[in-house]
Amino acid sequence: MTGFKGGCLCGAVQYEVTGDPVRVAQCHCDDCRRATGSAFATNVFVKEEDINVLQGETNSFQHTADSGSTMTKEFCGNCGSQLFGSGSAAPGIKNIKIGSIDDVGDIKPQIEVFTSKSLPYTPPLDFTEKFEKGRPR
């Protein structure tokens, strides 16, 4: 597949991505749990230049990760859906929360990170490469 579309819960923000994901990572870290309000986050990493926001605009929030990187979360200011994330350690790359994608098709995580933090009822997937912490650079 090449490209996909997505948007937030209320529909105010709509986007399209023109290229294929560079990586898909299921993250069990505390920050992703807090930010999504869910048991883990599935982050679809894409080139920033491949994202076109078709409608609406996002608000953003920044925080510092344990790694020291500045992380930016972009979300709909109306309904609060998280759409995009980025980190100062990976310029030019953004991650898209998989739940915002209209039709995920064959997009699925290749790796799981921070598995040391995963909730006990979140079983590991049998098709991912796993890292107890972040993905080594």
Sites of contact with Zn ion (CB under 5 A): 8, 10, 12, 27, 29, 32, 76, 78-79
Q: How many CB atoms lie within 10 A of CB 99?
A: 15
What is the secondary structure of the chain as a DSSP string? ---EEEE-SSSS-EEEE-S--SEEEEE--HHHHHHHTSS-EEEEEEEGGGEEEEES-EEEEEEE-TTS-EEEEEEETTT--EEEEEETTSTTEEEEEGGGBS--TT---SEEE-GGG--TTSPPPTTSEE-SSSPP-
Q: Provide the minimum distance between the beta carbon of 134 and Zn ion in the complex, in angstroms, as a whole number.
A: 8
Judged by CB, which is closer to Zn ion: 22, or 79? 79
Judged by CB, which is closer to Zn ion: 23, or 49? 23
Q: Provide the minimum distance between the beta carbon of 10 and Zn ion in the complex, in angstroms, as a whole number.
A: 3
Judged by CB, which is closer to Zn ion: 2, or 137? 137
Q: Provide the minimum distance between the beta carbon of 78 and Zn ion in the complex, in angstroms, as a whole number.
A: 4
Q: Provide the minimum distance between the beta carbon of 2 and Zn ion in the complex, in angstroms, as a whole number.
A: 26
Judged by CB, which is closer to Zn ion: 47, or 56? 56
